[in-house]
Each structure stands twice: as structure tokens, then as C-alpha cells.
Amino acid sequence: MRKGLFSLLLHASLFCFYVESPYGPALIQKGVWSDFNTFFTVQPAFVFDTVFNRKLQAGGGNSTVSFHETSEMADIAFTFLHRFSAYVMTGGAKTDLSLQSPGNNYLELFSNWAIPWVVGGKAIILDWHNFLLSLDGKYLQQNFKMKTLLTDGMLASFVQAPKFSLTDYQIGVLVGYTTALLTPFIGFYYENVSAALSRLPASYYTLSDFDSASSVSFINTPRMGLVIGADISPHDLFALSFQVRMITETALALTLTFGF
């Protein structure tokens, strides 16, 4: 029960770096402090984020890696003058990788829980009637230790766990329309992902592109895509948000954001 509740709270936590949005009608425009909110607002959040599928390509080769990832994080954001916000987020994440070569050889790996780090910021550059135009950017870093490997239907354990590292830069332009309770938004994003798989035992290098490699690097393609979603603000003290990302990954994020 405790484990399930902890997981639920963490799951509620990975959407704030995406949706602690420059819109947040209740939190960013109305504020939560009667005297101080014209200058400074604090916004903690719980976020759940799941990546249904992300595909990366091996640098210098034709192999690809696909992975599913679930991230659960807590976020704290600081908003200034209702227009500028900066935030930091951390929590827990798990992933499973599926590597495939042109000859349909494959490897599957599963990770332990890891601690990702996210920093970012948003700025409203135009507020015209109910329309908002904003810039959004973030940096994410994750390092996973892979605990098992699946090859030819067999599970194997590692003496020295392979490591999968990933960094992700995103920058985008968002357009939103604010109403009393709902703020839908759409954005066009550029994303740059770099990843590396290292310390994989030589006996498991079944993919042609990985032969004799001590570390394999991956990059993302395509690098541009859309983000759509909405913020729902039933009260000045909290907001609910959802977001669908269609860039390198196909992902869904849900957030509960608070104001103090």
C-alpha cells in the first residue's frame, strides 16, 4: 500500500518541467499571494511522464535503439512578474531498451531505478487579449544501470552492469489561449538527444554495428515535432495539466501543480 502510494505520488510528478507551463492560468496569471504575487510565485508540482516509444539511431551505423520509459518526479518552479519562470526537477525513472540491427538481430535490456535531473525555464514574450506566445527550454540528464539482458529468449544477469546515459535538450515556441478554467496550447519544438550504451559484455555484441565497440553512441532523428496539451485551473491554489509530446518520442505527461 505504501509502495503504491509512493509510486502514485511520484507518478504525479513528472509533468511540471513540461507543463508547469507559461500558461498555468490560475498560477501564473492570477497568482496565489494577494500582495506578493505580482512579483514572485512558488510552484511545486507532482508529475507523471511516460514515454511510449523513443527511437534513436546509432552514430556511424544503421542500428537503432527503441525504448519505453516511465519517469516520476517532483518539481519546484519560481515565477517572476507573471512572465518568467525557472524550475528544477528530480525524481525516479525506469527504462527498457530494445536494440535492433539491419539484420534483425536484437538485444533487450532493463534498468534499475535511476535519478534524472531536469532544469529549464519559460518566458511569455507576448500577451495579447487571451492569446499567449511563449518560449520554452529544458535540459534533461539520465544515467541508467541495466540489470538484465534478454537475447534469444534468455534472461542474463551482469557482473558489471552496462550503463545507458542520455541527455536531452529541447527548445520550443508555444501558443496558448486562456479562458477562466481551461488553457489549451500547442507548440513547435526542436530536440537534440545524445545517448550512449557502455560496458556491455563482449559476448553480447550480436549487432553488427556494435562489434568490438566499448561504447555505442546514439542520436535522435527527426529533431522537430509538436507538443499539444491543456492546463485546467479549477482553483487559484492548484492546476491540473496534460501534455502529449510528438518529437523524437511519443509521450504523455500529467501534472498536478500547487501554489503557495
Average per-residue pLDDT for the chain: 70
Write out the H or E segment, with its range, that includes residue 134: strand 131-151
Burial code (b: 16+ CB inside 10 Å, e: under 16) for 57-96 equals: bbeebebbbbbbbbbbbbbebebeebbebebebbbbbebb
Angle at 116 between CA 168 and CA 219, to 5 degrees: 25
Q: Which of 101, 97, 75 is nearest to 88 (CA)?
A: 75
Q: Alpha-carbon distance 243 to 252, whole Å?
A: 6
Total residue count of the chain as it appears in this document:
260
Q: With a cut of 50, say whether residue 21 has pLDDT above it.
A: no
Name beta bridge partners: 62.
none
pLDDT bin (cut points 50, 70, 90) of residue 8 is very low
Which domains are delineated in the chain? Answer: 2-258 (2.40.128)
Mean pLDDT of 41-55: 75
What cell does 158 get? 551482469
For the chain, give the percent of residues with pLDDT over 70: 59
pLDDT tens-digit map of 127-184: 888 888 988 888 988 888 887 776 655 666 666 678 888 898 889 999 999 887 888 9
As a whole number of angstroms, the distance between CA 246 and CA 251 comes to 7
Q: Name the DSSP class of 26.
A: I
Q: pTM here?
A: 0.73
pLDDT in tens, 68-101: 676 655 555 555 545 677 777 778 888 887 776 6
Instruction: Return the bridge partners of 48, or none.
Output: 72, 254
pLDDT for residue 33: 33
90's grid cell: 528530480
| Residue 85 to residue 82: CA distance in whole angstroms | 8
- The predicted pLDDT at position 16 comes to 34
pLDDT at 95: 82
pLDDT recorded at residue 41: 65
What is the reported pLDDT for 63? 62
Spatial separation of the C-alpha atoms in residues 43 and 257, rounded to whole Å = 7
Q: Give the whole-angstrom CA distance, residue 168 versus residue 91.
A: 16
Q: What is the pLDDT of residue 183?
A: 85
Residue 186 has pLDDT above 90, yes or no: yes
Asked if pLDDT for residue 199 goes beyond 80, the answer is: no
Q: Is the per-residue pLDDT at 211 higher than 60?
A: no
- CA quadruple 100, 104, 105, 110: dihedral sign: positive
DSSP for 54-70 reads EEEEETTSS-EEEEEEE
Is residue 252 pLDDT above 80, yes or no?
yes
What b/e sequence results for 194-213 when a residue is b if at least 16 CB atoms lie within 10 Å of its CB, and e otherwise?
Answer: ebebeebeeeebebebbeeb
What is the torsion angle, in degrees rounded to the nearest 10, for the CA atoms of residue 13, residue 14, residue 19 and residue 25? Answer: 0
Using 50, 70 and 90 to split pLDDT, how confident is the model at 240? confident
